[in-house]
Amino acid sequence: MKLMFASDIHGSAYYCRRMLELYQKSNASRLILLGDILYHGPRNDLPKDYAPKEVIAMLNPLKDQILAVRGNCDTEVDQMVLEFPILADYAFLLVEGQAIYATHGHIFHENHLPPVQDGDVLIHGHTHLLEAKEIRTEDGRRIKILNPGSVSIPKGGNPATYGILEDGVFSILDLENREIRRMEL
């Protein structure tokens, strides 16, 4: 199974369009959105081509292919216009035997772990910083931390990025489809 992960679109029609072009070319079976879909938030500048209504029109036709979790900028009013669920705080995925806890990252993250076990994966957005690493908790659990970065407002000198999970490998790619980082799960 091939999955595409993206986070922090923040209402950018330009970057949403580009992300969806890459999704179509990737032949991934699902698009997993890690929150902050329509609103840019009070701390961010407006992203390129900020047009939430256009983002809605692009995403709704894919409602049967999208799994989404709620970001700190996502609200009930956003759910009223999006035809796929966005208000879950997390999703628990089991992909090829690998447990993956998907969330936005404003509540659960590396420094405040959700209920994960040794060998599990925590994937989130929120920071707009790409990440692929393994940590060891104080009690000895090994947890993989993944963040595909931001599609529209990358930070820390990173390019706009997304993630692909296929055959037990998580790859972070820029919008030119160049691999930036990879990690075996």
CATH number for the domain harbouring residue 122: 3.60.21.10
- How far apart are alpha carbons 75 and 81 in whole angstroms? 11
Q: What is the dihedral of CA 155, 60, 163, 91, to 10 degrees?
A: 100
Q: What is the pLDDT of residue 66?
A: 98
Q: What is the pLDDT of residue 91?
A: 97
> Residue 164 in 3-state DSSP?
strand
Give how many domains the chain has, as a whole number: 1
Q: Residue 49: give the domain boundaries.
A: 2-184
Mean pLDDT by 10 residues, the chain (185 residues): 97 98 98 96 86 98 98 97 98 96 97 96 98 97 98 97 97 97 96
Please provide the distance, in angstroms rounded to a whole number, between the alpha carbons at the two ends of the chain: 14
Tracing tokens 């996502």 back to the chain, one arrives at 74
Please give the model's pTM, rounded to 2 decimal places.
0.96
- How far apart are alpha carbons 86 and 77 in whole angstroms? 11
Q: What is the pLDDT of residue 44?
A: 79
